Structure 1
Amino acid sequence: MGYSSRRPHWVPLLSAKNRKVKLQWAQAHQNWTVEDWKNVAWSDESHRHADGRGRIWCKQHESMHPSCLVSMVQAGGGGGGVMVWGMFSWHTLGPLIPIEHCLNATAYLSLVADCVHPFMVTVCPSSNGYFQQDNAPCHKAHVISSWFHEHDNEFSVLQWSPQSPDLSPIEHFWDVVEWEIHNMNVQPTNLQQLYDAIMSIWTRISEECFQHLVESMLRKLQAVLGAKGGSYPVLERCT
């Protein structure tokens, strides 16, 4: 009958207001070129563990129908698993840092000062770089905003649309890491082995892979514009 079993896509849980803001963000950046996106450093925290998704039955053309999607809300990780923070740009991979607890403003400030700052001044010495972060509470804290304001002569913070992990290339970067773990001959059996696997995979991801993910921003923006800020059927993978 044309139905097949598959895992549902995760999509951001967007309110009507955030969908409008996402569309406006895409419109504001639709004329950015690949050269512009090369100057952006992408960052994110990731909590790695079993995803627990069930399966659905649908026809191929129905995969992005609302009844076949699973909504998600961005939040800090919880429960068992390994949390890491990382960043990269079109030019190079940045550091990958283990996070023992959910980030608060104080811990995030240390990451920004110790990791983000040296990365940005090295990759974008002409002070034309942008640092991307999502809108997590610790990222928007006053002490963080003040620090970025003090260093705005060295690089800028890219204003980010709320609830838009699907727009960020680093989200697909985490998908690559998870895929590589899934294909390991011997699966990690404890948290230390999982962390070691993530670190090893991070350092082995090819330049072609993360450059492809950054270049995908042109397609992502067109997809958001076409969907008027809503969910879109774009699945980026490294070539």
Structure 2
Amino acid sequence: MGKKGDLSEFERGRIVGARRAGLSISETAQLVGFSRTTVSRVYREWSEKKKMSSKRQSCGRKCLVDVKGQLKMGRLIQDDRKATVAQITTRYNQETQNTISERTARRTLKQMGYINRRPHRVPVLSAKSRKLRLEFAEAHQKWTVTDWKNVAWSSGTRFQLQHSCGRVKIWHEQQESLDPSSPGSPAPAGGGGVTVWGIFSWHKLGPLVPIERCLSATDYLGLLGDHVHPFMSTVYPSADGCFQQGNAPCHNADVISNWFLEHKEEFTVLRLPPQSPDLNAMEHLWEMVEREVRTMAAQPTSQQQLRDAIVSAWTKASEESFRHVVESMPQRVKAVLKAKGGPTRY
């Protein structure tokens, strides 16, 4: 590959095309991701000399994906916005002699201006929610990774047979909207689904429990006794553990509060502020399970098959994967502080 300053014909073509379409130098620079100086130079060279290639492109190793290859990769993206890098690489390498690696495919897509992110809507936080989030972040800003290792994370979620809306990542160009209603975004979830509840900590992956109906206070009390208490006793025998739970109605019932009071000598309770998935490490684990299920060769077609697939994906979660998200908690708290309680990128 050439020097950092080299531009491919495809990149030069994007700059020229944007300028000819009426975009200013600044707007073009923001669109293509290059400096205003580069944009100005490339367009001037095209205007004066009709130049669309760099003299320095012969430097270094030849690029494995030429303009024709980039066009092919662009078609693959348009055909399946939800494809993984591995799937794109496999499809690209079909019927071609010059095969590429996943790393090359990822780098090429980045050069072409594609990024892979989940469609999302920024949550509309009330003034009260922002205040509570900020207060939580201020109260825990001095917590270290060691402190967060003492937290057992828990929550429930629902997986759809087709997919859970908002969890699937899509490829899109930088200037495209990330709203789920934009072209290429996942279709609404449907076809039935499975609800599960899980618990984990930095030290250990806990049980995954299928939930057959909407949890009542009595049902949740059963979860606490059958799964939370044994997990906390095993992982934190010194009574230094902290059990995290959300703000579901069943969590705030008197019978639940009384149960925690009875066990206050064994572990404490960490309540996250409302509308705070970015502060719940459990959300990251659910995303990993979703990705594992959606990349299985045989996709589930019934609720029982989906349940089995979720259990299989849960048990395959590596220590490195769920430990990493716990270790990211100090950065997440800092992000909330910086946003003054507003939403963050996590």
Same fold (TM over 0.5): yes
**What does the per-residue CA deviation read over 1:4-37, in whole Å, with 9 as the maximum and x for residues that have no partner?**
6965225444211101110110010000011100
The alignment partner of 1:114 has SS state of helix
Query: 1:205, 1:20 → 2: CA distance?
Result: 34
Q: 1:12 to 1:144 in 2, by over 3 A?
A: farther
The alignment partner of 1:163 has SS state of coil
The residue correspondences of 1:1-239 to structure 2 (distance < 5 A) are: 2=31, 7-49=118-160, 50-52=163-165, 60=174, 68=178, 80-234=192-346
Say whether the 8 Å CA contact 2:118–2:170 is kept in structure 1.
yes
Higher RCO by CA contacts (8 Å cutoff, separation 6 or greater): 1
Q: Which runs of 5+ in 2 are unaligned?
A: 1-17, 19-30, 32-112, 181-189
Q: Which amino acid aligns with 2:164?
A: D
Query: 1:38, 1:131 → 2: CA distance?
Result: 11
Q: 1:10 to 1:110 in 2, by over 3 A?
A: farther
Say whether the 8 Å CA contact 2:198–2:206 is kept in structure 1.
yes
Say whether the 8 Å CA contact 2:278–2:344 is kept in structure 1.
no
Query: 1:14, 1:115 → 2: CA distance?
Result: 33
**What does the per-residue CA deviation read over 1:70-108, in whole Å, with 9 as the maximum and x for residues that have no partner?**
7xxxxxxx9821000000000001110000001010000
**What does the per-residue CA deviation read over 1:110-148, in whole Å, with 9 as the maximum and x for residues that have no partner?**
000110001101111111110001000001111001000
RMSD: 2.5
Identity rate, percent: 58
Query: 2:345, 2:256 → 1: CA distance?
Result: 34
Q: 1:214 to 1:55 in 2, by over 3 A?
A: closer
Query: 1:8, 1:145 → 2: CA distance?
Result: 37
Aligned to 2:185: none
Say whether the 8 Å CA contact 1:56–1:68 is kept in structure 2.
no
The alignment partner of 1:46 has SS state of strand
Tell me whether 8-17 or 121-130 shows the greater mean CA deviation. 8-17
| Count of aligned positions | 223
Q: CA deviation at 1:55?
A: 9.9
Give runs of ≥4 in structure 1 deviating > 6 Å.
3-6, 54-59
Q: Which runs of 5+ in 1 are unaligned?
A: 71-77, 235-239
The alignment partner of 1:9 has SS state of coil
Q: Structure 1 length as normaliser, TM-score?
A: 0.85
Q: Which amino acid aligns with 1:24?
A: E
Query: 1:195, 1:101 → 2: CA distance?
Result: 14
Larger radius of gyration: 2
**What does the per-residue CA deviation read over 1:182-230, in whole Å, with 9 as the maximum and x for residues that have no partner?**
1111111110000000001111111111111111101111111111111
Q: 1:167 to 1:69 in 2, by over 3 A?
A: farther
